[in-house]
Amino acid sequence: MLDFPLWKRLSLWAITLAASLLALPSLFNVAGLDWPSALPDPQVNLGLDLAGGSHLLLEAKAGDVRAQRLEAMEENVRQLMRNANPRIRIGDVSTAGGELSFILENAADIDRARGLIEPAMQGSTTVREWELKVVDGQRIVLTQTEAGINQAIDESMNGAIDVVRRRIDELGTREPTIIRQGSTRIVVQVPGLQDPAGLKKLLGQTAQLEFKLVDLDALPSDVQAGVARAGSQIFPYADGQSGAIAVKRLGGIRGDNLTGAQAGRDPQNNQSVVTITFDAQGGAKFAKLTTENVGKPFAIILDKQVLSAPNINEPIIGGRAQISGNFTPESANNLAIALKSGALPVPLTVVEERTVGPDLGADSIRKGLLAMGIGSLAVIALMVASYGRFGVYATVALVFNVLMLLGLMALGGFTLSLPGIAGFVITIGAAVDANVLINERIREERKRGRRVIAAVETGYTEASRAIWDANITNVISGVALFAFGSGPVKGFAVVLVIGIITSVFTGVTLTRMFVAGWLRKARPNDINI
Amino acid sequence: MKLLKLVPDDTNIKFLKLRVPFFVLSLVLIVGSWTAVAINGLNFGVDFAGGQEVRMTFTKQAEAPIPSLRELVGGLGYGEPVVQEFGAKNQVSIRVALPEGAEDTPGAATAIGDKVIATITKSYPDARKDGNDTVSGKVAGEFRDQAILALLAAMAAVAAYIWVRFEWQFGAGAMFALVHDVSVTIGLFAVTQMEFSLQIVAAILAIIGYSLNDTIVVYDRIRENMKKYRKMEMFDLLDLSVNETLSRTVMTSLTLFIALIPLLFFGPESLFGMVAAITVGLFIGTYSSIYMAGALLIWMGVTTNSFVPTETAVDRQEKLARGEG
């Protein structure tokens, strides 16, 4: 037990010093000193609650993804049936209840229809995305499978993360963290950002641009009442004053295929406008739409609100279009950024927001360090007063414990949060527990008359059992903490769990090496403990 | 050098004599805590209640204009705001609850937050925003569910570990001690109406780990003594075990305690509730280790012979071979 051959001593020191050295860059940083740039620079990240910044939790509604897919499928099916040769006539199309259902006018077409639809049901992967049912030999019902929906949500969220990243980059903000959380959420953390209002506005904009033909046959009174005819939809104007307008549900195009968007001014009336540039595919679609509908009005719809509904005076074939709609220079600029970075595949809402000012964080660090210092001194004083030389060993172990904990956190790229500071203090107070248990046991064994070496040896072996059990329960609660917590609480859990590991190492293994070394050299007949 | 001994050698305190009054006291504490929760409720912060909380510093004023803020924010129509001093005299935290039905409109909470901040900075240009937490009703509900789940899971896992390492009676004893420690800590928050937030749940989870440390030391010693003193009365054995470990129970709790106290008084204000919870939980945990851990074993019928392995046929033969049978 007290046998420490040279290789063992060397490797223990190597581990201790290596882990402790990793803490130096972080300590330099806290002290405001410059760490030599030639050396590796692992740093403990400061959480937003210490460094200041904004944390936003964005959520997508799964229902939105379902609805989008259903609509896309409807359009797809209509087109397939129309283009079939000979054309397959369908009727009574309904998307109620989250499923697409329609009747074939001629029941004999059923196999042909199936043959056309089935390839469209398969997504990009092997997942079966749709279920096809035939009812009464004539009606086809398409339902989305759970796996298909999940995959669609997955794709939408991954797309949304890219869009969010592009938009934040456009703002020129430094080092944002953007991660997916659960199936429908995205965490956005922007250090140093004090006023997230602009960011929220930018992320809250889906920027789904659509061009749809105005339904000229809709009765004004129906539009007023919000009653849409079959095949048309009613959207309100974005300005909230001009009422609403009915548009044809299908046959429009979406502004997905853009290569650029630029805010500017219309030279004719000096109003703020956004000029968009389509890519080749989008340009062709746009040209076709405008060519086929010259003289008719079409609505420019952004996120389900109508910006404007100009007449198509002539075919627009250059792939560029100008969007007007009561913009301020600022909102035009925002829209341009949003359109350039692409539409969010699914609308996002902010469900949690936390902002911390930089002064509060700096103050917390200062006060936390002060408290940690006083607490450490008190613990050291108590240990040395109670256990003498053995208390000094425990103190040395404690110092290495704190350094190793900090070093390992820097190595692992973990984040130190405000509750993490409490975790450090708890670790300092609890790390010496192992030494208390060992030293008390040695004291007891000496009292029972064991010789020094035997007492120390028994002390370490007998105390180890309880130390082990106690630390396992601490790890269990630490794991529960980690699983439970969001950012700051996770930071607390990380400190506690790493602190438990380092404290067992320093408190038990290191002190045993110290004690063994001293016993071998001094060969005391009695120990003061 | 004479070393400090906080607990004298060879104490012989008859802890178990007082087991009934102390057990009753513990039951009263548990029941009282939950009664307090039922009557007062917990003062949920934005984490669990939803809504929004702004912390502001009035940089050009010695004292924050609290009554005026109350009026200003109250006039926004989101109900009565909670405005209180936070840290220094010119710092405040302002809490506004979510309106009815806001659970289903995810963006409602952040909209309220923006409006509150805008209103205050308009009237007080020197108000500096130190922080802002906005939590929607849905997220708050999830936090509540997760908190309850995490607490129960942690307690069950820790008790199960003790059961595996010791015997089921020890696991049950540990579970009782945990229920006791957690209840009293929650009860404290119901009585004082300090804000109950995610941090407090984190503190309680930490307590679940640390308050048992002392219990484990006592249990470990009980097990050791049961092997050593097979003839001893269970009462005496338990008293002996608690006395033998008294010094380390006191010391381990004390080291953590003196590390935490400076954090409580000099540390960041926003950690006060959390550190207070851990400190109190630690205190209660030590008490339950000394008084409850052993007494419960007796009530669960543990005797000195409970865990002696029963003699197997092989043992019997070996005994015979040695001529002992």
The more confidently predicted of residues A241 and B199 is B199
Beta-carbon contacts of B136 under 8 Å, excluding residues fewer than 6 positions away, are A350, A351, A352, B50, B98, B102, B103, B106, B107, B108, B109, B110
* B287-325 burial: b if 16+ Cβ within 10 Å, else e: bbbbbbbbbbbeeeebebeeeeeeeeeeeeeeeeeeeee
Tokens of A342: 């692409």
A426 — contact with chain B (CB < 8 Å)?
Answer: yes
CA distance A269 to chain B (A): 33
Task: Determine which of A408-422, A491-505, B94-108, B192-206 has the lowest per-residue pLDDT on average.
Answer: B94-108
Cβ atoms of A236 and A292 within 8 Å: the answer is: no
Contact flag A466-B220 (C-beta cutoff 8 Å): yes
* B139, B254, B258: residue with CB nearest A352: B139
SS3 string, A301-314, reads: EECCEEEECCECCC
For residue range A277-291, list pLDDT tens digits in order: 888 888 888 888 888
Looking up tokens 């004053």, which residue turns up? A241
C-alpha torsion A196→A197→A198→A203, nearest 10:
80
Contact flag A359-B213 (C-beta cutoff 8 Å): no
Looking up tokens 């406008």, which residue turns up? A273
Same domain as B185, residue B37: yes
| B113 vs A contacts (CB less than 8 Å) | 353
Cβ atoms of A352 and B51 within 8 Å: the answer is: no
Question: What count of other Cβ atoms lies within 10 Å of the Cβ of residue B76?
Answer: 14
Same domain as B36, residue B111: no
Q: What ranges do the domains of chain A cover?
A: 6-51+357-522, 62-149, 205-355
| A432 vs B contacts (CB less than 8 Å) | 255
% pLDDT > 90, chain B:
33
For chains A and B, CB pairs below 8 A equal: 251
Same domain as B74, residue B186: no
User: Distance between CA atoms of A250 and A74, rounded to whole angstroms?
Assistant: 9
- Residue whose C-alpha is closest to residue A59's, from B107, B98, B144: B107
Mean pLDDT of chain B: 86
| B151 vs A contacts (CB less than 8 Å) | 480
Total structural domains within chain B: 2
The more confidently predicted of residues A492 and B212 is A492
**Structural domain includes residue B295:** yes
A 358-377 near B (Cβ less than 8 A): 359-360, 363-364, 367-368, 370-372, 374-376
Please determine, for residue A131, whether its predicted confidence score (pLDDT) is greater than 70. yes
Q: Say whether A259 sits in a helix, a strand or coil.
A: strand
Looking up tokens 């229902």, which residue turns up? A63
Q: What is the arithmetic mean of pLDDT over B94-119?
A: 76
CA distance B316 to chain A (A): 30
Cβ atoms of B303 and B232 within 8 Å: the answer is: no
Q: Say whether A382 sits in a helix, a strand or coil.
A: helix
The more confidently predicted of residues A479 and B316 is A479
Domain holding B247: CATH number? Answer: 1.20.1640.10
A478 — contact with chain B (CB < 8 Å)?
Answer: yes
Task: Determine which of A21-30, A325-334, A460-469 has the lowest per-residue pLDDT on average.
Answer: A325-334
Contact flag A474-B210 (C-beta cutoff 8 Å): yes
Q: Say whether B60 sits in a helix, a strand or coil.
A: coil
Tokens of A198: 């602009």
Question: What count of other Cβ atoms lies within 10 Å of the Cβ of residue A514?
Answer: 18
Strand partners for A236: A244
- Residue whose C-alpha is closest to residue A197's, from B43, B139, B170, B113: B113
Same domain as B147, residue B126: no
For residue range A177-194, list pLDDT tens digits in order: 899 988 889 999 888 887
Output the CA–CA distances (angstroms, integers) from residue A123 to A95, A133, A144, A155, A256, in the order listed. 20, 18, 12, 11, 20
User: Distance between CA atoms of A369 and A501, rounded to whole angstroms?
Assistant: 22
Q: Predicted confidence band at A456 (pLDDT cuts at 50, 70, 90)?
A: very high
**Structural domain includes residue B206:** yes
| B270 vs A contacts (CB less than 8 Å) | 49, 360, 364, 418
Q: What is the arithmetic mean of pLDDT over A368-372?
A: 94
User: Distance between CA atoms of B115 and A428, rounded to whole angstroms?
Assistant: 43
Strand partners for A159: none
Beta-carbon contacts of A375 under 8 Å, excluding residues fewer than 6 positions away, are A425, A428, A429, B258, B259, B260, B261, B262, B263
**Structural domain includes residue B73:** yes
| A419 vs B contacts (CB less than 8 Å) | 199, 202, 271, 274
Output the CA–CA distances (angstroms, integers) from residue A392 to A61, A379, A424, A439, in the order listed. 59, 11, 20, 12
CA distance A152 to chain B (A): 22
Q: Predicted confidence band at B314 (pLDDT cuts at 50, 70, 90)?
A: low
% pLDDT > 70, chain B:
92
Task: Determine which of A201-205, A418-422, A489-493, B26-30 has the lowest per-residue pLDDT on average.
Answer: A201-205
Mean pLDDT of chain A: 87
Contact flag A433-B247 (C-beta cutoff 8 Å): no
Cβ atoms of A494 and A424 within 8 Å: the answer is: no
CA distance A386 to chain B (A): 4
| B1 vs A contacts (CB less than 8 Å) | 388, 528
Domain interval for residue B232:
15-41+140-299
CA distance A420 to chain B (A): 10
CA angle, residues B164, B170, B176, in degrees to nearest 5: 115
Domain holding B118: CATH number? Answer: 3.30.70.3400
Cβ atoms of B136 and B106 within 8 Å: the answer is: yes
| A481 vs B contacts (CB less than 8 Å) | 150, 154, 202, 205-206
**Structural domain includes residue B248:** yes
* B165, B257, B259: residue with CB nearest A469: B165
Contact flag A481-B110 (C-beta cutoff 8 Å): no
Contact flag B202-A355 (C-beta cutoff 8 Å): no
Task: Determine which of A43-52, A132-141, B1-10 has the lowest per-residue pLDDT on average.
Answer: B1-10
Same domain as B241, residue B155: yes
Beta strands B43-44 and B195-196 are parallel
Tokens of A361: 């964080």
**Structural domain includes residue B169:** yes
Give CA A309 to chain center in angstroms: 38
Residue B183 phi/psi, 5-degree rounding, is: -60, -45
Contact flag B134-A437 (C-beta cutoff 8 Å): no
| B274 vs A contacts (CB less than 8 Å) | 419, 422
Question: What count of other Cβ atoms lies within 10 Å of the Cβ of residue A316?
Answer: 18
* A351, A357, A360: residue with CB nearest B138: A351
Tell the CATH topology of A62-149.
Alpha-Beta Plaits (3.30.70)
**Structural domain includes residue B304:** no
CA distance A126 to chain B (A): 34
CB-hemisphere CA count at 13 Å for A103? Answer: 5
pLDDT of residue A149: 87
Contact flag A59-B274 (C-beta cutoff 8 Å): no
Q: Predicted confidence band at B325 (pLDDT cuts at 50, 70, 90)?
A: very low
Question: What count of other Cβ atoms lies within 10 Å of the Cβ of residue B202?
Answer: 30
% pLDDT > 90, chain A:
30
Please determine, for residue A121, whether its predicted confidence score (pLDDT) is greater than 90. no
Q: Predicted confidence band at B105 (pLDDT cuts at 50, 70, 90)?
A: low
Same domain as B187, residue B75: no
Please determine, for residue B32, whether its predicted confidence score (pLDDT) is greater than 60. yes
What is the DSSP annotation of A415-442? Answer: EE-HHHHHHHHHHHHHHTHHHHHHHHHH
Question: What count of other Cβ atoms lies within 10 Å of the Cβ of residue B257?
Answer: 20
Contact flag B255-A375 (C-beta cutoff 8 Å): no
- State whether the Cα torsion B209-B210-B215-B221 is positive or negative: positive
Cβ atoms of B197 and B45 within 8 Å: the answer is: yes
CA distance A348 to chain B (A): 9
Tell me which chain A residue has its CA closest to the CA of residue B5.
Answer: A386
Output the CA–CA distances (angstroms, integers) from residue B126 to A195, B121, B196, in the order listed. 16, 7, 30
Cβ atoms of A295 and A312 within 8 Å: the answer is: yes
Same domain as B211, residue B103: no
Q: Say whether A236 sits in a helix, a strand or coil.
A: strand
Tell me which chain B residue has its CA closest to the CA of residue A359.
Answer: B130
> Which site among B256, B265, B274, B286 would you substitute to test the A interface, given the most A Cβ atoms closer than 10 Å to its Cβ?
B256
Q: Predicted confidence band at B46 (pLDDT cuts at 50, 70, 90)?
A: confident
User: Distance between CA atoms of B62 and B89, rounded to whole angstroms?
Assistant: 7
Same domain as B74, residue B180: no
User: Distance between CA atoms of B131 and B274, rounded to whole angstroms?
Assistant: 18
Cβ atoms of B51 and B204 within 8 Å: the answer is: no
Tokens of A337: 């950024």
Contact flag A474-B201 (C-beta cutoff 8 Å): no
Same domain as B196, residue B67: no
pTM: 0.82
What is the DSSP annotation of A441-494? Answer: HHHHHHHTT--HHHHHHHHHHHHHHHHHHHHHHHHHHHHHHHHH--HHHHHHHH
Q: Which CATH number fits domain A6-51+357-522: 1.20.1640.10, 1.10.150.130, 3.90.1640.10, 1.10.10.10?
A: 1.20.1640.10
Return the DSSP state at A346. S
**Structural domain includes residue B20:** yes
Same domain as B241, residue B94: no
**Structural domain includes residue B203:** yes
Residue B78 phi/psi, 5-degree rounding, is: -105, 25
- Residue whose C-alpha is closest to residue A507's, from A478, A466, A473: A466
A424 — contact with chain B (CB < 8 Å)?
Answer: no
Same domain as B185, residue B198: yes
Same domain as B234, residue B95: no
Tokens of A309: 């509904």
CA distance B103 to chain A (A): 10
> Which site among A48, A57, A432, A440 would you substitute to test the B interface, given the most B Cβ atoms closer than 10 Å to its Cβ?
A440
A456 — contact with chain B (CB < 8 Å)?
Answer: no
Contact flag A476-B3 (C-beta cutoff 8 Å): no
Of the residues B87, B106, B135, the one at which a domain ends: B135
Contact flag B210-A356 (C-beta cutoff 8 Å): no
Domain A205-355 in CATH 3.30.1360.200: yes
Beta strands B195-196 and A415-416 are unpaired
CA distance A146 to chain B (A): 23
C-alpha torsion A130→A133→A139→A143, nearest 10:
-30
Q: Please report, as a single letter, which amino acid is at residue A119.
A: P
Tell me which chain B residue has its CA closest to the CA of residue A353.
Answer: B134
Q: Predicted confidence band at A124 (pLDDT cuts at 50, 70, 90)?
A: low
Contact flag A375-B260 (C-beta cutoff 8 Å): yes
Q: What is the arithmetic mean of pLDDT over A242-258?
A: 79
| B217 vs A contacts (CB less than 8 Å) | 437, 466, 470
* A49, A195, A429: residue with CB nearest B259: A429
Q: Say whether A227 sits in a helix, a strand or coil.
A: coil
pLDDT of residue B301: 82
pLDDT of residue A420: 93
User: Distance between CA atoms of A491 and A478, rounded to whole angstroms?
Assistant: 11
